[in-house]
């Protein structure tokens, strides 16, 4: 049997409070020696020895070994001794140790069975080790005892201080909280054995943070200890909490942590305006919704408790200005609500209120949580562009209105006190066709070209008004012109109509249904009337029936049509509309005579009258193309000849062309030359029609356009009407430039004593050309003679 080496020292183990356990293989009887300090009596020891000697069949008897942690000695720490009852002390038994830590942490003397710890032990790393012991015959290696397990437990000592694993802590508590308000609970952990002594019993205390906060010594709960703590006075607190083991007794280990406590804000401060009066200014041209200025009410609170809502509560500008709250900066932004006018009102006074929208009932006694301030706004004068009255024009004009007719008077005025003069014009990008003209001073909107509803039925033009003294100030107004319809388009066939009639057709048989279209759009709707043209009123072959629904039927008047007699008929049809005046046109219906079967289906028609052969030979196609080419050449020649006739600019060299020669030895007449055109025609068109003054020394190449002006326009006193009519006629004649600006320079030098000044022939002359002849031209050419170095016989320049 085995015996633990610690049995003889049982009394000492009892003093340490260690229990010994004994196991047997046959039956298990356990004797527990309590941790009492009282020693065993001799009877108890003898009884215990008798029990051990009586159980000879038990293979192993050993302790559960205990060893203290953190041994700091230099020698191996003695743990205990294993001994077999078969060991006679002669060294024949060999002890072997295996299991957890065997040979590394624990060693055994294979002869004596002494167990030692060779490494430093830490209960917090490992609290016990399970090992196996075996006794072998040293000579044969045969097991003398069965292998069995035993445990070595590491006994704890107070070698670990409490630690705050979650520290440092961050917490917050509302300001002005009552005393005892919970803030946060801190927890310290001690790695020592909580079941052994007071090594792991922790007590909390506060080292820093008094008198504002306190801590529960048992639970670690931190509470407020001072009333009326104000965030605006002090917001952040650093509290240091200590945890000490051994129940806080002297010699216990301690650990600390930091708790950063922030006082959260509550709405306990009312807003206040730092200024009771604000002075602002705004230009009268400021657009609607533009910013005038900003006001701000200070609030010592923050976040939602510092939110502001601004409003206008009084003043004479409540309907002119508005105020909005900037949610990011909590400022009141005053904006323009309606257009301003310096001439109407030069200043405004507003009363602005700023209030907290989120209130706390327990702090209402600190209020009121609102404040007011006064804002004076001055309107500054600016040079404004002209303003049109009204701001939009709608004009209806018939499409047959004459050129130069005034269709609307556009009116604008300078809103400034200066009331400058206005000049009117049309934005040409809005009237690219130049259909209209506006009088520069009166604003009379007139037609400049004929209007055609079927071409453009609506005109949207922009009229500009500019201050005479400040051209940068320009106002604009939209003018919508609706062109009213006039019956100026005759109805016509909707398409080309071509019908056929069978040779066996009977009288009254329907040949074709025709319809018409009209580009006009009368208010009462379109209605067409059909009849045969006067020259075909008594047509013996066909007749027409007006269906009164804008269509007509063409019927046969007789039977017995024959292709060999006449294979094509042309029937003129008169179409009239219901407009005022009534307009009509004549359309021709082509009717072919065809051979048909009994059911009226066309079998064959003589198509030669209106269809080309189905197939043509290559030679025929070449001939047709050659004819077309010849016709095109003839047309181009005719057009070229007509154009040359309309441009009588090329004059025979022998002709007298005095009227277009600029004489080099004479100066122009300038404004004194009254022979070029009659200036009176521009000032008085009435006189221009009666007296046409022609140049005496030349025959004008283009006659004055004044005689083409309609009589109604010429007799009008408005000069603009006359000029517009002439401008339109000149634009329509593509071959006639303005009569008063045509100059023809087909020849040069003929008739001048200097002859030609051209340098085209200079290459044929000698390089040493003499310019002495320049001195014979007189004083006017003296400078030219000096430039070319003409000298007299003495060699001196002249």
Q: What is the DSSP letter of 89?
A: S
Query: What pLDDT is recorded for position 487?
Result: 86
How far is 243 from 253, CA to CA, in rounded Å? 8
Strand residues in 485-633 grouped as ranges (E): 492-493, 498-502, 510-517, 529-532, 542-546, 551-556, 568-576, 584-596, 602-605
The dihedrals phi and psi of 224, each to the nearest 5 degrees, come to -75, 145
What letter would DSSP give residue 583?
-
Give the C-alpha separation, 436 to 461, whole Å: 9
**CA 627 and chain centroid, separation:** 64
User: How many angstroms separate the CA atoms of 206 and 720, rounded?
Assistant: 103
- Residue 297 in this model has a pLDDT that exceeds 80: yes
- Could you give the percent of the chain with pLDDT greater than 70? 75
Question: What is the per-residue pLDDT for 82?
Answer: 82
- Its pTM stands at 0.42
User: What does the alpha-carbon distance between residue 133 and residue 148 come to, in Å, rounded to a whole number?
Assistant: 6
Nearest 5°: CA angle at 776, between 774 and 779?
85
pLDDT value at 760 more than 70: no
What per-residue confidence (pLDDT) applies to 53? Answer: 45
Cα–Cα dist 202/245, whole Å? 4
Residue 32 scores a pLDDT above 80: no
398-427 residue pLDDT tens: 988 999 999 999 999 888 767 778 899 999
In which region does residue 475 sit, left (phi positive, over 0), alpha (psi from -120 to 50) or beta (all else)? beta
* Residues in CB range of 433: below 8 A, 6 or more apart: 449, 456
Q: How far apart are CA 476 and CA 615, in angstroms?
A: 67
Pairwise CA distance, residues 173 & 245, whole Å? 29
What is 125-158 written as a DSSP string?
Answer: T-SEEEEEEEEEETTT--BSS--EEEEEEEEP-S
pLDDT surpassing 60 at residue 85: yes
Element (H, E) at 426: strand 422-426
Give the per-residue pLDDT at 352.
96
- 672 — alpha (psi -120 to 50), left (phi > 0) or beta? alpha
pLDDT in the model for residue 359: 87
Output the 3-class SS for 618-646.
HHHHHHHHHHHHHHHHHHHHHHHHHHHHH
Residue 123, Cβ density class (10 Å: 0-12 exposed, 13-18 middle, ≥19 buried):
buried
- Work out the number of other CB atoms within 10 angstroms of the CB of residue 234: 11
Which contacts (CB < 8 Å, 24+ apart) does range 435-442 have? 435/459, 436/461, 436/481, 437/720, 437/724, 438/410, 438/463, 439/720, 442/409
Q: What's the pLDDT at 665?
A: 53
Q: Collapsing DSSP states into helix, strand and coil, what is residue 486?
A: coil
CB 285 within 8 A of CB 384: yes
Question: Is the sign of the CA dihedral 434, 439, 441, 443 positive or negative?
Answer: negative
Distance CA 69, CA 84 (A): 28
pLDDT per residue as tens digits for the range 539-571: 889 999 999 999 999 999 988 888 888 888 999
Element (H, E) at 239: strand 236-244
Residue 144 has pLDDT above 60, yes or no: yes
Q: How many other CB atoms are found less than 10 A from the CB of residue 62?
A: 25
Domains of the chain: 64-155 (2.60.40.60), 163-264 (2.60.40.60), 277-380 (2.60.40.60), 387-484 (2.60.40.60), 492-604 (2.60.40.60)
Selection from 395, 448, 449, 385 nearest residue 418 by Cα: 385
Q: What average pLDDT does the chain have?
A: 77
Dihedral over alpha carbons 760, 764, 768, 770 (to 10 degrees) = -70
And the tokens for 656? Answer: 């007298």
Rounded distance between C-alpha atoms, residue 512 and residue 327, angstroms = 80
Helix (H) or strand (E) holding 474: strand 474-484
For the segment 573-585, the average pLDDT, to the nearest whole number, is 89
- Does position 173 have pLDDT exceeding 50, yes or no? yes
- Bridge partners, 209 (sequence order): none
**Dihedral pair phi/psi, residue 270, rounded to 5°:** -75, 155
- Residue 787 structure tokens: 């430039």
Of the candidates 350, 355, 352, 374, the residue with the CA atom closest to the CA atom of residue 299? 355
Report the side by side order of strands in the sheet with 128-137. Answer: 65-68, 148-155, 128-137, 93-99
Q: What local confidence, expressed as pLDDT, does residue 646 receive? A: 55
pLDDT at 459: 94
Burial class (CB in 10 A: 0-12, 13-18, 19+), 308: buried
Return the pLDDT at 105. 87
Number of Cβ within 10 Å of residue 232's Cβ equals 13
Residue 215 CB burial class (10 angstroms; 0-12, 13-18, ≥19): buried
For residue 783, the surrounding DSSP H or E stretch is helix 782-787
Cβ pair 388, 475 in contact under 8 A? yes
Q: With DSSP H G I counted as helix, E B as strand and the rest as coil, what are the percentages for the chain, rounded to 5?
A: 15, 30, 55
Q: Do β-strands 474-484 and 392-398 pair in parallel, antiparallel, or remain unpaired? A: parallel
Segment 86-137, tens digit of pLDDT:
888 788 888 888 888 888 888 888 888 888 888 888 887 888 888 888 888 8
- pLDDT digit string (tens) for 240-270? 999 998 887 887 889 999 999 999 999 888 9
**Per-residue pLDDT tens digits for 470-520:** 888 899 999 999 999 888 889 999 899 988 889 888 888 898 999 999 888
Question: What is the average per-residue pLDDT within 763-773?
Answer: 60
Sort 406 into a burial class: Cβ within 10 Å, 0-12 / 13-18 / 19+: middle
Per residue in 335-355, is it b (16+ CB within 10 Å) or e — as a string? bbbeebebeeeeebebebbbb
Over the stretch 511-539, which tens digit does the pLDDT of each residue have?
899 999 988 888 788 899 999 999 888 88
More confident residue, 302 or 21: 302
- Measured in Å, how far apart are the chain's first and last C-alpha atoms? 161
Structure tokens at 511: 């040949």
Band of residue 153 on the pLDDT scale cut at 50, 70, 90: confident
Instruction: Report the alpha-carbon distance of residue 477 to residue 499 in Å, rounded.
Output: 57
């Amino acid at each position: 049997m085995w015996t633990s080496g610690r049995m003889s020292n049982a009394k000492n183990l009892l003093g340490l409070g260690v229990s010994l356990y004994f196991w047997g293989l046959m039956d298990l009887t356990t004797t527990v020696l309590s941790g009492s300090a009282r020693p065993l009596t001799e009877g108890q020891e003898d009884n215990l020895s008798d029990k051990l000697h009586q159980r000879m069949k038990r293979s192993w008897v050993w302790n559960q070994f205990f060893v203290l942690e953190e041994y700091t000695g230099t020698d191996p720490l003695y743990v205990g001794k294993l001994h077999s009852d078969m060991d006679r002390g002669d060294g024949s038994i060999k002890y072997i140790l295996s299991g957890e830590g065997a040979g590394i942490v624990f060693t055994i003397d294979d002869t004596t069975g002494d167990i030692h710890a060779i490494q430093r032990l830490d209960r917090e790393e490992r609290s016990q080790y399970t090992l196996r012991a075996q006794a072998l015959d040293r000579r044969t290696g045969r097991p003398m005892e069965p292998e069995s397990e035993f445990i070595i437990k590491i006994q704890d000592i107070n070698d670990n201080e409490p630690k705050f694993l979650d520290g440092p802590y961050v917490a917050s508590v509302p300001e002005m909280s009552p005393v005892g308000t919970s803030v946060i609970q801190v927890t310290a952990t001690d790695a020592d054995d909580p079941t052994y002594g007071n090594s792991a019993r922790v007590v909390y205390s506060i080292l820093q943070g008094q008198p504002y906060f306190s801590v529960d010594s048992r639970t670690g709960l931190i509470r407020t200890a001072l009333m009326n703590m104000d965030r605006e006075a002090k917001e952040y607190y650093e509290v240091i909490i200590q945890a000490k083991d051994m129940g806080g007794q002297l010699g216990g280990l301690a650990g600390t942590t930091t708790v950063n406590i922030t006082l959260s804000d509550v709405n306990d401060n009312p807003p206040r305006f730092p200024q009771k009066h604000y002075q602002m200014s705004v230009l009268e041209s400021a657009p609607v919704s533009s910013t005038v200025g900003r006001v701000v009410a200070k609030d010592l609170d923050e976040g939602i408790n510092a939110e502001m809502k601004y409003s206008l509560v009084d003043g004479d500008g409540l309907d002119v200005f508005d105020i909005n709250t900037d949610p990011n900066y909590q400022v009141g932004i005053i904006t323009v609500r309606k257009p301003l006018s310096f001439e109407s009102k030069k200043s405004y006074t507003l009363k602005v209120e700023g209030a907290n929208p989120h209130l706390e009932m327990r702090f209402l006694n600190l209020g009121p949580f609102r404040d007011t301030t006064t804002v004076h706004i001055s309107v500054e004068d600016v040079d404004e562009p002209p303003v049109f009255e009204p701001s939009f024009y709608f004009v209806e004009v018939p499409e047959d209105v004459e050129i130069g007719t005034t269709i609307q008077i556009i009116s604008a005025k300078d809103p400034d006190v200066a009331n400058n003069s206005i000049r009117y014009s049309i934005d040409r990008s809005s009237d690219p066709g130049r259909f209209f003209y506006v009088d520069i001073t009166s604003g009379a909107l007139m037609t400049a070209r004929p209007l055609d509803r079927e071409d453009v039925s609506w005109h949207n033009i922009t009229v500009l008004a500019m201050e005479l003294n400040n051209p940068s100030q320009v106002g604009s107004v939209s003018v919508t012109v609706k062109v009213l319809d006039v019956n100026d388009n005759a109805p016509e066939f909707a398409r080309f109509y071509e019908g056929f009639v069978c040779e066996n057709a009977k009288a009254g048989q329907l040949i074709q249904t025709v319809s018409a279209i009209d580009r006009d759009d009368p208010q009462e709707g379109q209605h067409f009337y059909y009849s045969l043209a006067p020259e075909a009123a008594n047509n013996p072959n066909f007749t027409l029936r007006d269906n009164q629904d804008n269509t007509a039927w063409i019927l046969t008047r007789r039977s017995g049509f024959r292709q060999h007699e006449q294979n094509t008929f042309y029937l003129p049809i008169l179409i009239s509309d219901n407009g005022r005046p009534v307009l009509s046109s004549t359309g021709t219906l082509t009717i072919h005579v065809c051979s048909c079967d009994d059911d009226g289906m066309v079998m064959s028609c003589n198509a030669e009258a209106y269809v080309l052969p189905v197939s043509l030979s290559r030679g025929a196609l070449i001939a047709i193309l050659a004819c077309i080419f010849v016709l095109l050449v003839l047309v181009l020649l005719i057009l070229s000849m007509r154009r040359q006739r309309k441009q009588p600019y090329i004059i025979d060299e022998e002709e007298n062309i005095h009227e277009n020669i600029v004489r080099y030895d004479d100066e122009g007449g300038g404004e004194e030359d009254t022979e070029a055109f009659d200036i009176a025609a521009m000032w008085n068109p009435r006189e221009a029609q009666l007296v046409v003054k022609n140049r005496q020394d030349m025959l004008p190449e283009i006659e004055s356009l004044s005689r083409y002006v309609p009589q109604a326009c010429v007799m009008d006193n408005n000069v603009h009407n006359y000029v517009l009519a002439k401008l339109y006629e000149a634009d329509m004649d593509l071959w006639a430039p303005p009569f008063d600006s045509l100059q023809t320079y087909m020849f040069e030098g003929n008739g001048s004593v200097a002859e030609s000044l051209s340098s085209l022939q200079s290459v044929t002359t000698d390089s040493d050309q003499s310019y002495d002849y320049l001195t014979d031209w007189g004083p006017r050419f003296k400078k030219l003679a000096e430039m070319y170095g003409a000298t007299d016989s003495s060699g001196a320049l002249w």
